[in-house]
């Protein structure tokens, strides 16, 4: 079997988790991590693998593909940097996930263990669908969205670009979450959420801007 080598963009808490996911996926191998903010993080290996500075990875663009392991929805910066160096992006689906064949996943998206994505759903680019999240049928998820462990998004929902749905949140059917909004942990969204706000509670209510929630 041919093996696709990968570089993981990011060196923080989610990066070792992506490495662990890939270890369960035949046909892939992680050869290192990439840092773009704190050069000191390149001085020591991570999980016994090298950490490269972003400006040093162009030589890998022909042989490797990239996947981003930054949990924040601002991960677009390092993705754009890697793309400018010529990298393509791999879409990863853990073998313990179930994704409908009638649904679509954008490039660079990560679907973790225990995830279920129902039929006729469209997931955008560089989305993180974390452990055990459930996404119903006929859902549209924008680019750079984070859907945290145990979140449950019902059918016919719309999730805007760079939105963040936190641990265990519930989004009821036919509800929209605006771009760059944050749905707090355990919140139950029963009505549309505007862009650029943070909501908490049962039912969810606006409590402020989203900056502190990511």
Count other C-beta atoms under 10 Å from residue 178's C-beta: 19
pLDDT computed for residue 203 by the predictor: 96
pLDDT computed for residue 79 by the predictor: 97
Query: What are the extents of the domains in the chain?
Result: 4-84, 92-203
Domain 92-203 homologous superfamily, CATH? Hexapeptide repeat proteins (2.160.10.10)
Tell me the C-alpha distance between 153 and 80, whole Å. 28
Non-local (6+) Cβ contacts of 197 within 8 A are: 178, 181, 182, 206, 208, 209, 210
pLDDT computed for residue 180 by the predictor: 95
The answer to whether domain 4-84 and domain 92-203 are alike in fold is no
Q: Which residues of the chain have pLDDT under 70?
A: 1, 210-214
Residue 133's alpha-carbon distances to 11, 27, 65, 136, 158, in angstroms, are 23, 24, 25, 10, 16
The size of the chain, in residues, is 214
pLDDT computed for residue 213 by the predictor: 42
Report the DSSP pairing between strands 205-208 and 198-200: antiparallel
Q: pLDDT (tens digit, 9 = 90+) per residue, 113-127?
A: 999 999 999 999 999
pLDDT computed for residue 9 by the predictor: 98
Q: pLDDT (tens digit, 9 = 90+) per residue, 131-145?
A: 999 999 999 999 999
Tell me the C-alpha distance between 163 and 17, whole Å. 21
Task: Enter the DSSP assignment of 170.
Answer: E
Task: Give the SS3 label for residue 141.
Answer: strand
Written in H, E and C, the secondary structure of 3-26 is: CEEEEEECCCCHHHHHHHHHHCCC
So what CATH class is 4-84? alpha beta
* Active site (annotated) includes residue 64: no
Catalytic residue chosen out of the listed positions 12, 64, 94, 137: 137
How many helices (H) does the chain have, and how many strands (E)?
2, 23
């Amino acid at each position: 079997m041919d093996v696709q080598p990968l570089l993981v963009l990011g060196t923080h808490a989610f990066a070792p988790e992506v490495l662990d996911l890939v270890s369960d996926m035949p046909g892939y191998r992680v050869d290192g991590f990439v840092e773009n903010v704190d050069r000191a993080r390149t001085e020591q290996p991570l999980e016994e693998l090298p950490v490269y500075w972003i400006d040093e990875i162009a030589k890998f663009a022909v042989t490797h593909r990239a996947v981003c392991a930054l949990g924040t929805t601002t991960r677009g910066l390092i993705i754009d940097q890697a793309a400018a160096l010529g990298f393509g992006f791999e879409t990863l689906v853990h073998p313990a996930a179930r994704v409908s064949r009638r649904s679509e996943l954008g490039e660079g998206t990560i679907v973790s263990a225990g995830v279920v994505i129902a039929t006729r759903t469209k997931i955008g680019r560089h989305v993180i669908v974390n452990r055990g999240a459930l996404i119903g049928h006929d859902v549209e998820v924008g680019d750079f969205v984070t859907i945290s462990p145990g979140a449950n998004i019902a059918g016919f929902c719309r999730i805007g670009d760079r939105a963040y749905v936190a641990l265990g949140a519930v989004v009821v059917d036919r509800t929209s979450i605006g771009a760059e909004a944050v749905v707090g942990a355990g919140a139950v969204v029963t009505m549309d959420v505007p862009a650029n706000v943070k909501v908490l509670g049962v039912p969810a209510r606006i409590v402020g801007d989203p900056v502190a929630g990511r």
